[in-house]
Each structure stands twice: as C-alpha cells, then as structure tokens.
Structure 1
Amino acid sequence: MGHIVLVTGGARSGKSTRAEARVSALPGERVYIATARPDDAEMRERIARHAARRGAGWVTVEEPLDLVGALARSDGRGPRLVDCLTLWLANLMFAGRDWEPEAAALVAALARQQGPVVLVSNEVGMGIVPENALARAFRDAQGWLNQRVAEAADEVEFVVSGLPLKVK
C-alpha cells in the first residue's frame, strides 16, 4: 500500500516546501496535484512562484474539485503531492458541494493508493473565532477534514517557522 503523509501548519510556515522535499526524495515521476484555481492575478502569481520553486521534473495535474479522481488517475506514476487540502475544501464549499462525503471518499481513496501521497493542509483553527458564520463553518470543516486525513495517514508533520515537527 502507498505511504500517506500529511504536512500541516500555518500560512507561510514552510509546509509546501517541506512537502516538496519529501516527494523529491522519493524515486519515480513526481506528480503535483494542484487544487488552486488561477482566478485572479495574485493567485496566478502564487501558482507561478510554487512552480518555479519546484523546478523541472514535476508533472502538474490541476484538479480543484475531483481530488479522488486525480489520485486514482495518477496512482502508480510515482510519488504525488497534493497542495493543498485547504483550497480543495474551499473549492468544494464555494461550489455548494457537501464536503463531508467528499472527505469520506478522500480517506477511502487514500487507503487504496499503491504509491506514496504527501498532502499539504493548513491548520486554521489556532486563531481567534471568526466573526461570521461562513468563516466559522470553514474553520470547523477544515479542522474536521484535517483530523480525518491525519487518522488515515501513516505520518503527520506540523511545520512551524520552516521546521517540521513529527506528530505521528
């Protein structure tokens, strides 16, 4: 079975860089499953910076919603990096989809993987309680999603100031 790693942390903690290093250390074709939507200039710039930092040698699969399908289609090609679950969840919620069955399908798909998967996710619940219901719903959903993926993962790392801490 595939080895599943969850790398989590706050914004700009270094979690994506850490996840890229984990995948780069593995043999085989490196597949980057991108969940970001390039909907505005600022996001397009972020995406370009991530791609430049990774450099050559990565195959990019853009999949903002069908993460389970992207994992199924890429299994066996080499190690995969999913960056990130936070944007995937936001995309699901923005599209009006029920995230809970999607999360259950993701956890089930992770159990079926033959190749390694490293997933990146933000830890969003460490700050103040948001003032509006939508932000609170997102914060709560992200926490629950992270818990489910962490339980399914073989390893969990929490990145703080660029330094990984092994949690599981």
Structure 2
Amino acid sequence: MAATAAAGSVIDCAKGIGAVYSNGGHVLDYAGINKILRPLPPLLAVCTLVGSAADISQFAVITDETDRHKHVLVSKALVPDAAFLDPQPLTTVPPAMAACGVADILVHAVEAAVSSLASPLTDIFAAQALRLWSSAVLAAGADFCPTLCSYADSGSGRPGRGR
C-alpha cells in the first residue's frame, strides 16, 4: 500500500511510482492512454490543497526533467483506492497558494463545460461546480479576492508575479 498526504503533483508522483512498481520499466513508458497493464498497489490519497482532482482522477501528469515536457498517463488503474479530504490543512495555506488551487478548480469546471466529450450529465456537474466556485469566492470576501485577481492578472502562473 502507498499513502500520500500532499497536493496534486505529489499524488501524481505516487501514481507513477505505483505504475512502475507493478509494471516495471520507466514511468514515461506509461505516458498515453491505457498503457498500464497491471493494477497498482492500493493508494491512499490525503489532499492538502484543493483544485487538482488528482485524488479522484484517472490521470497523472509527469514532467520529464530532461526536456521539460509534461506527459500524461491515463488509466483507470491510477484512480486512488481511497481519498480523504480535510479542510483543516487549508486554514494554514498561504493566500497565494490557495488562489492557485481556487483557479485550478475554476479551470476544471470550465474544461468540463466546454470539452468535446461533454454530455448532459457533465454539463450539470460543470454548472454546479461553477455555482459552488463563485459562491465560495464571494464568501471568502475582500481578503482573498485580490490574491486571486493578482494570480489571474500576472500571466505567469504564479500569484503576484508579472509577465
């Protein structure tokens, strides 16, 4: 069994490690769709930041450090066996980090709405995700919104940094 308590990239790393442990080879051998032939060891994901959906998805994004390209592994074998979501760790996350997670949630909701694979069912979930997202951002109020806006305006993918 493998357990990870972290944000999305660390959960994705655990998925990649599990794929190699069960199937051998190099993690990038499994980039693409349904290239993982054997099941992974049981994986427990404890999320410490919102937004990535790594704790519930069949995807893992792995960066090849030699060429700085991101590769996507896609397999139902990558879905963690259990995920625990506890809002308590989020109370200590710096606002800039929280803004990244909040922006990620918005991206996932919009992606679901405009996907070529969208269906009436995914449209319902996307619309509800957007309603919940906007309610949560408005409820967070004036302290949080400037941080989120600086993230959106920076163009760098990092809050508060210019182009």
TM-score range, shorter chain: 0.3 to 0.5
Q: Which has the larger radius of gyration?
A: 2
Q: Larger relative contact order (C-alpha < 8 A, sep ≥ 6)?
A: 1
Normalising by structure 2, we get a TM-score of 0.33
Q: Which has the higher strand share?
A: 1
